[in-house]
Amino acid sequence: MYRFLLFLASSLFLTAAAWAQPVTFGASVQLTGPVANTGRYYKDAYEFAVDKINAAGGIRIGSTQHKIALKILDNQSDVNLSVRQYVQLLAQDKVDFLLGPFASNFVLADSSIAEKSRVPMVQGGGASDQIYSRGYKYIFGTLPAASNYFGSTIEAMTKLNPKPQTVALLYADDAFDVSVAKGTRELLKKAGFKTVIDERYSTNASDFSVLLSRIKSQKVDAVLVAGHETEVLNFIRQAKSLNVSPMLYSFTVGVPSADFRQALGADANGASGMTAWLPSATLKDQWFGNAAEFARAWKAKFGYEPDYHAASGVATVEALVNAIQAAGSTDPQKVRDALAKVSFDSLYGRVTFNDKGQISLPQIMVQIQGDKVVPIFGGKEFINKLQYPLEPWAER
């Protein structure tokens, strides 16, 4: 009996030693408020990835396995609250590493907390070039540069027949959309397009009637809009009501999302956009198998389809896990240095960061056709046929 009890005690000790203290990831995410519809992707992505990785054994540091613990706070779509919550996560909740919020203006503010505290933040919700122009060393991002979001669309436009002659560029007044506009302006000029309308509008704008009237009166061929999903929905609805039918319109957000198609119904058809990710079986992943399997599992778990926000969010968790294992430590500086060198295949694509901390992935031009998202142009050649020129609303 004594030997048995001694054996049992030893086994329990070894089990406790093998499963050491969890590594905690913390994030402040928009779960309520105006952008909660997109913010939910990141909460779901973080939880989905953490559960999957924990089920496979968690994080291995040396010979020890560590589960991942996750602390998520709701910033209520308030930037100031988000900043305070990241301070709380580090100072009060004592999380080890940070995952990011959604939206560039949030990331711009929140990453300053990570930088000041010298704790790595990996984020998949902000693409503004401004995030990476400050020389910060502790911010890493899995969205490609905002300045090139319309790159594939503009390249496709150069190959259309008839080629659009005039372009309208509209953009919201936040960090992401300003970056998009700055880069798009240069890309349009380089490609030889004439921009006849270049207008900045207020974030959360609901009335586009004046801009649409200008587009109609000037007979603009192509309209490029950098904005948020609610703004894009308002733009399309008002375009229909005012019978504004350019040959092509494209948007930075919304188009790849199932919510976008459900909100507009048949009126979503013809809308173009872009995505850095599609659920292809060719994208292999250590934990999820491949992107197609991931998409099916996501839909089964959450009841809605994933888009690039979901894939980008999962990639942030995987990047941190890979870096911690490569560093063999939870020391923030060592993990930061490992993140700078990380390179692995994921369901999102090849994850590796440039010297500023940002990923580089090509944007794929997509269009809604027959209520489905169809890949159109991959940067060099057409994948499928673009519906172009768009028919007038009355004929669709």
**pLDDT by position in tens, the chain (length 396):** 444 444 444 444 444 445 589 999 999 999 999 899 999 999 999 999 999 999 999 999 999 999 999 999 999 999 999 999 999 999 999 999 999 999 999 999 999 999 999 999 999 999 999 999 999 999 999 999 999 999 999 999 999 999 999 999 999 999 999 999 999 999 999 999 999 999 999 988 899 999 999 999 999 999 999 999 999 999 999 999 999 999 999 999 999 998 899 999 999 999 999 999 999 999 999 999 999 999 999 999 999 999 999 999 999 999 999 999 999 999 999 999 999 999 999 999 999 999 999 999 989 999 999 999 999 999 789 999 999 999 999 888
Is 128 inside a domain boundary? yes
Is 1 inside a domain boundary? no
On the 0-12 / 13-18 / 19+ scale of CB atoms within 10 A, 269 is: middle
Residue 291: C-alpha distances to residues 95, 102, 174, 280 (Å):
29, 22, 31, 5
Q: Copy the structure tokens of residue 124.
A: 């998949």
| Per-residue confidence (pLDDT) for residue 180, from 0 to 100 | 97
Identify whether residues 200 and 60 lie together within a single domain.
Answer: no
Identify whether residues 132 and 153 lie together within a single domain.
Answer: no
DSSP 8-state code for residue 249: E
Is 358 inside a domain boundary? no
Domain with residue 179: its CATH number is: 3.40.50.2300
DSSP 8-state code for residue 136: -
Is 54 inside a domain boundary? yes
Identify whether residues 74 and 96 lie together within a single domain.
Answer: yes
Q: How far apart are CA 127 and CA 130, in angstroms?
A: 9
Q: Maximum Cα–Cα distance for the chain, whole Å?
A: 93
Backbone torsions φ then ψ of 124, nearest 5 degrees: -125, 20
Q: How far apart are CA 384 and CA 369, in angstroms?
A: 11
| Per-residue confidence (pLDDT) for residue 19, from 0 to 100 | 56
Identify whether residues 164 and 256 lie together within a single domain.
Answer: yes
Q: Copy the structure tokens of residue 226.
A: 């950098």
Full domain range(s) for residue 220: 148-275+363-395
Amino acid code (one letter) for 263: A
- Going 248 to 280 to 69 to 128, the CA torsion angle's sign is negative
Is 2 inside a domain boundary? no
Identify whether residues 95 and 211 lie together within a single domain.
Answer: no
- Number of structural domains, the chain? 2
Start-to-end Cα distance in the chain: 83
pTM for this prediction = 0.91
Identify whether residues 308 and 347 lie together within a single domain.
Answer: yes
Identify whether residues 121 and 64 lie together within a single domain.
Answer: yes
Q: Copy the structure tokens of residue 315.
A: 């990639």
Identify whether residues 136 and 231 lie together within a single domain.
Answer: no
Identify whether residues 186 and 224 lie together within a single domain.
Answer: yes
Q: Copy the structure tokens of residue 3.
A: 């030997």
Q: Copy the structure tokens of residue 305.
A: 């389809």
Backbone torsions φ then ψ of 227, nearest 5 degrees: -165, -165
Identify whether residues 212 and 271 lie together within a single domain.
Answer: yes
Is 85 inside a domain boundary? yes
| Per-residue confidence (pLDDT) for residue 5, from 0 to 100 | 42
Backbone torsions φ then ψ of 91, nearest 5 degrees: -80, -35
| Per-residue confidence (pLDDT) for residue 14, from 0 to 100 | 41
Is 257 inside a domain boundary? yes
**CB count in 10 Å sphere of residue 378:** 15
- Going 35 to 41 to 44 to 47, the CA torsion angle's sign is negative
Residue 212: C-alpha distances to residues 38, 215, 224, 270 (Å):
26, 5, 12, 17
Identify whether residues 62 and 177 lie together within a single domain.
Answer: no
Residue 353: C-alpha distances to residues 120, 140, 234, 340 (Å):
13, 7, 36, 6
Identify whether residues 217 and 289 lie together within a single domain.
Answer: no
The answer to whether 130 and 106 have CB atoms below 8 angstroms apart is no
